[in-house]
Amino acid sequence: MVENPFSCEACDEREAVFWVFERYEAADGVGAVEAETPLCRECVQDAGPRELENAYGNYIFKIEPVAEAFGMSTI
């Protein structure tokens, strides 16, 4: 079994089981910003887009499982 090395950034009490990823346009309009936040099962329920005002053609918001939290490893 693979050990999960990530803890929740919101509560810092539990292991993270999800990655919240958001890509949006930088405030100065030059380039993109990519934000990744590991969250536990409880804290991910409050997760949502935070930078919709900076959305652009390649905007992304997604929530994906942390592979290690489910006994898998990432390549």
The whole-number average pLDDT for the span 40-63 is 96
Rounded to a whole number, what is the largest CA-CA distance in the chain?
A: 44
Cα(65)–Cα(73) distance, rounded to whole angstroms?
12
Judged by DSSP in three states, 26 sits in coil
Higher pLDDT, 74 or 34: 34
Contact 7, 15 (CB under 8 A): yes
Per-residue tokens: 28: 């100065």
- pLDDT at residue 3, rounded to an integer: 66
Q: Is the pLDDT reported for residue 17 higher than 90?
A: yes
Res 9 pLDDT > 90: yes
DSSP 42: T
The whole-chain average pLDDT of the chain stands at 90
pLDDT confidence bin for 2, thresholds 50/70/90: low
